[in-house]
Structure 1
Amino acid sequence: MENTFPVLSTAILIFFILDPFGNVPLLLSILKNVDKQRHSKIIIREMLIGFFILVTFQFFGERFLSIFHLETQAITIAGGIIFFVIALKMIFPDPGGENIFAAKKGDEPLVVPIAVPMIAGPAALATLLVLAKTNTEHAGGLFISLFLAWLLASLVLLFSPLLYKILKVKGLAALERLMGMLLLIMSVQMFIDGIRALLPTFA
């Protein structure tokens, strides 16, 4: 029986990595000095640029990994560890962290910092490298998962002013921690899958 690609669960995983709820306050901070009439256009433009970068990494990231002759099990275990660390940072954020993305007054952001690294950041790119390497026969399914996650994240960021008014800082922080908890569970499962796949090689 042919294995089917878990499109929905993979989309949820990528959505957690993109962390749009955690980026809402940051996005509003970046755009606070920009004309409000331009906000939607800027967000859509930056999301499209970020999506292009993510898709590029999906289809060409495996070639990068093949240069270093990395095995699938190693990628799976490393991915689990990466997601574990990301999840911990989502659950226990640094209270003294500074906003390194703060733009100068009156500037309109282009590529940096919304498209990169807010959308196509190191965590998202590493995730796609892992998923592309471990699902080489399901490139189409992975692309659909990426598109769904990106689309949902885009909608969250487009409605960021409304979400901020409804949920406030504490509500958004609670959502981010919930996403972190779920990602933590998924990272442990990914680590277990990688170890399980390695066990027969030691027999």
Structure 2
Amino acid sequence: MNFIFKEAFTAFMVLFAVIDVIGNIPIIIDLRKKAGHIQSEKAAIIAGVIMIVFLFLGQSLLKLIGIDVHSFAVAGAFILFFIALEMILGITLYKDGDEDASGITASVFPLAFPLIAGPGSLTTLLSLRSEFHLENIIVAVLANIILIYIVLKTSSRIERMIGPIGIQIIRKIFGVILLAISVKLFAANIKVLFI
């Protein structure tokens, strides 16, 4: 057992920043208005299953197409870098179109995937795997899923408490943290590729 609290906490913070569930509260509320209701439990469980399955099978899939984890981690660092820029500068580089959907489908798509378990978080999982022990990443994923469930259940209350300005401040703070993490991830893995 290689459980290290510091590693698990760092992985948790990275995933929390990438998923950006607090910053996505306006989107969650908008989905709730369109769909009538959102099944928070279903969305959190499906997102968690997608992330854990990808954590275990992602590396095998990469080997199948001939890509090593370090190359994927460098690509992941670029994605994190751009997500961080979006958060800090308040710009949108890429966004999937929102569809009108029922509460059940809205809980799965676009909420569980790609909003929570999207390209950013899946890439991050494999990038983290190149640096951290598996147990710590699983703990970080589960802690994030619990937090996501709480946020989904109380999204309206959180938005009223924090307000739009508070959400913007949180996004920018996590954007800076994410930017630093992406630089560290890039530096750690690019060296391995050139050795």
Q: Quote the offset at 1:7 in angstroms.
A: 0.9
Residue 85 (str. 1) matches residue 77 (str. 2): no
| Of 134, 155, 158, the match for 1:163 | 158
Question: 2:21·2:151 contact (CA, 8 Å) conserved in 1?
Answer: yes
Q: Is the 8 A contact 1:26 1:99 kept in 2?
A: no
**Within-5 A mapping of 1:52-131:** 52-94=49-91, 100-103=97-100, 107-110=102-105, 111-131=108-128
Q: 1:44 to 1:29 in 2, by over 3 A?
A: same
CA contact (8 A) 2:3 2:136 kept: no
Aligned residues: 191
Distance 1:171 1:112 in 2: 27
8 Å contact from structure 1 (residues 15, 150) kept in 2: no
The more displaced of 113-122 and 57-66 is 113-122
The whole-number CA distance in structure 1 between the counterparts of 2:93 and 2:180 is 26
Contact 2:73 2:123 in 1 (8 A): no
Amino acid in the other structure paired with 2:109: V
- The CA deviation string for residues 25-80 of structure 1, in whole angstroms up to 9 with x for no partner, is 10101112555xx55xx112111111111111111111111113323432332221
Write out the 4+ residue segments of structure 1 that deviate beyond 6 Å after TM superposition.
Answer: 95-99
Matched, 1:186 2:181: yes
Match of 2:145 in 1: 150
* TM-score for the superposition, normalised by structure 1: 0.82
Aligned to 2:9: 8
Deviation at 1:115, TM superposition (A): 1.0
Q: Distance in 1 between matches of 2:25 and 2:171?
A: 10
3-state DSSP of counterpart to 2:66: coil
Change (3 A) 1:193 1:99: closer
> SS of the counterpart of 1:32?
helix
Tell whether the 8 Å contact from 2:35 to 2:103 is kept in structure 1 after alignment: yes
Q: Distance in 1 between matches of 2:3 and 2:93?
A: 46
User: Cα distance 1:26–1:66, how it changes in 2: closer, same or farther (>3 A)?
Assistant: same
Match of 1:175 in 2: 170
Between the aligned partners of 1:32 and 1:52, the Cα distance in structure 2 is: 26
Q: Is the contact made by 1:76 and 1:193 (CA closer than 8 Å) also made in structure 2?
A: no
Residue deviations 1:151-187 (CA, integer Å, cap 9, x gap) = 2232222221111101222211111111111100111
Residue 101 of structure 1: how far off its partner (Å): 2.2
Using structure 2 for the length normalisation, give the TM-score: 0.85
Q: Counterpart in 2 of 1:19?
A: 20
| AA of the residue aligned to 2:181 | M
When structure 1 is superposed on structure 2, of 119-128 and 19-28 the one drifting more is 119-128
Corresponding letter in the other structure for 2:60: R
Instruction: Letter of the 2:173 partner, please give it.
Output: L
RMSD across aligned positions (CA): 2.6
- Pick the structure with greater CA Rg: 1
SS of residue matched to 2:158: helix
